C-alpha cells in the first residue's frame, strides 16, 4: 500500500483542515498500522469508522474487514475521500453527524461490529454513549484521542473524572499505544494515544435509572474543588439536609470529593438519591 500524501490530496481538492472539527489527519503508516491492529479485525467483520477524513486509515480497515461504513461529517472532504477509496469496493461512505445518525437505520449494521474513530476530545463521551446505548451496539471501540484524554478515560479513584465514569460504566478501556504529534497532519500541539474500549455485556454497576445515575455523577463533578455534599446540593438543586440523608444511606462521607468515588459507590449514591431527584432539566 502506497503512503497517502495528505498535503497533495488536500491541495488538489482545494480543501483546508478545519480546526473546529478537530481535523488532524493520521498519516504515519506505522501509526495507522497500530490503530488497525488494535481493532483485531477478522475477515468477516463490519467496521464503522467515524471521521475517515482523507481515507488514510480506511484503506487499512478495508483490507482487513469484510465491510467498512465510513461516516464523515464534512462534505468538503468527500471528493478527496472518494479518490483515496476508489480501489475498494467494500467501503460505503455516509455523510452525516454520527451523533445524529440513527445507527439502527444503517443497512447491514448488526450488533457486535467494531468502531474505529479519530475524534475530537470534546465529543468523546457523547459518542461512546451514543454507540453503546444504540439498539445495534458494537463489541469494541478503538479511538485515537489526545494522550491526556486517554489517560482520563482509564483513571482510577482517587483521580476519577466524569469521562472515566462515563466510559468505564459501559466499557473496559485500555491504552494500546501512544502516538507522537508528528504522526498527524496538520501536526497538533500534543501527543495522542490509541484507546481500545471493550464493550461490557451489561453496565459495570447496577443502575435502575441510567439517566438519574448520570445526573448524580455530573452533579458530583460539577464543582470538583468542593466537597461532595456541596457539589451535589448545587448540581441537583437540593438542600444540604437532603444530600446528607442519601450520602448516609449510601455510606459515603459528605467530605469526600467526586474524584475519590468508585463506580460501585456512584451506583449506591444514585440509588439512594433517586427518590430526591425532581424532573430532569428541560
Per CATH, 6-199 and 210-276 having the same topology is answered: no
Do 215 and 236 contact (CB within 8 A), yes or no?
A: yes
Q: What is the mean pLDDT of residues 35-44?
A: 97
Q: What is the mean pLDDT of residues 130-144?
A: 94
Q: Where are the domains of the chain?
A: 6-199, 210-276
Residue 2 is predicted with a pLDDT of 64
Query: What's 210-276's CATH class?
Result: mainly alpha
Strand partners, 72: 95
Do 260 and 254 contact (CB within 8 A), yes or no?
A: no
Q: What is the mean pLDDT of residues 65-87?
A: 96
Residue 281 is predicted with a pLDDT of 64
Residue 108 is predicted with a pLDDT of 82
Q: What is the mean pLDDT of residues 1-16?
A: 85
pLDDT band at 20 (very low <50, low <70, confident <90, very high): confident
Residue 91 is predicted with a pLDDT of 97
pLDDT band at 118 (very low <50, low <70, confident <90, very high): confident
- Residue 100 pLDDT > 70, yes or no? yes
Burial 222-255 (b: 16+ CB within 10 A, else e): ebeebebbebbbebbebeeebbebbbeebebeee
Rounded Cα distance, 93 and 89, in Å: 11
**H, E, C per residue of 173-191:** EEEEEEECHHHEECCCCCC
Residue 282 is predicted with a pLDDT of 57
Superfamily assignment of 6-199 in CATH?
A: Vaccinia Virus protein VP39 (3.40.50.150)
Burial 110-135 (b: 16+ CB within 10 A, else e): eeebbbbbbbbbebbbebbbbbbebe
Do 257 and 229 contact (CB within 8 A), yes or no?
A: no
Higher pLDDT, 109 or 61: 61
Angle, CA 137 vertex, CA 136 and CA 143 arms, to 5°:
135
Q: What is the mean pLDDT of residues 88-115?
A: 94
* 3-class secondary-structure state, position 91: strand
pLDDT tens sequence across 171-184: 999 999 999 999 99
pLDDT band at 122 (very low <50, low <70, confident <90, very high): confident
Do 98 and 71 contact (CB within 8 A), yes or no?
A: yes
pLDDT band at 78 (very low <50, low <70, confident <90, very high): very high
Burial 26-53 (b: 16+ CB within 10 A, else e): bbbeebbebbbebbebeeebbbbbbbbb
Residue 198 is predicted with a pLDDT of 97
pLDDT tens sequence across 237-274: 999 999 999 999 999 999 999 999 999 999 999 999 98
Helix (H) or strand (E) holding 171: strand 171-179
Do 145 and 176 contact (CB within 8 A), yes or no?
A: no
Rounded Cα distance, 281 and 232, in Å: 15
- Residue 115 pLDDT > 70, yes or no? yes
Amino acid at each position: 500500500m502506497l503512503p497517502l500524501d495528505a498535503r497533495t490530496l488536500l491541495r488538489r481538492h482545494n480543501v483546508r483542515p478545519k480546526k473546529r472539527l478537530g481535523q488532524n489527519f493520521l498519516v504515519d503508516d506505522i501509526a495507522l498500522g497500530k490503530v488497525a491492529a488494535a481493532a483485531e479485525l477478522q475477515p468477516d467483520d463490519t467496521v464503522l469508522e467515524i471521521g475517515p477524513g482523507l481515507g488514510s486509515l480506511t484503506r487499512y480497515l478495508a483490507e482487513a474487514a469484510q465491510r467498512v461504513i465510513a461516516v464523515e461529517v464534512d462534505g468538503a472532504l468527500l471528493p478527496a475521500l472518494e479518490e483515496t477509496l476508489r480501489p475498494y469496493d467494500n467501503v460505503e461512505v455516509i455523510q452525516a453527524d454520527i451523533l445524529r445518525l440513527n445507527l439502527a437505520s444503517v443497512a447491514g449494521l448488526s450488533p457486535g461490529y467494531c468502531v474505529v474513530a479519530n475524534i475530537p476530545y470534546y465529543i468523546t463521551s457523547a459518542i461512546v454513549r451514543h454507540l453503546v446505548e444504540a439498539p445495534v451496539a458494537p463489541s469494541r471501540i478503538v479511538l485515537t484521542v489526545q494522550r491526556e484524554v486517554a489517560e482520563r478515560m482509564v483513571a482510577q479513584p482517587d483521580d476519577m473524572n466524569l469521562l472515566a465514569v462515563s466510559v468505564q460504566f459501559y466499557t473496559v478501556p485500555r491504552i494500546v499505544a501512544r502516538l507522537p504529534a508528528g504522526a498527524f497532519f496538520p501536526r497538533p500541539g500534543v501527543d495522542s494515544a490509541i484507546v481500545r474500549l471493550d464493550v461490557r455485556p451489561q453496565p459495570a454497576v447496577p443502575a435502575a435509572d441510567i439517566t438519574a445515575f448520570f445526573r448524580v455523577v455530573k452533579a458530583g463533578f460539577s464543582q470538583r474543588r468542593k466537597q461532595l455534599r456541596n457539589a451535589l446540593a448545587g448540581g441537583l438543586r437540593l438542600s444540604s439536609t437532603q444530600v446528607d440523608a442519601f450520602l448516609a444511606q449510601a455510606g459515603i462521607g459528605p467530605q469526600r470529593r467526586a474524584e475519590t468515588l468508585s463506580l460501585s459507590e456512584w451506583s449506591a449514591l444514585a440509588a439512594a438519591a433517586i427518590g430526591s431527584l425532581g424532573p430532569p432539566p428541560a
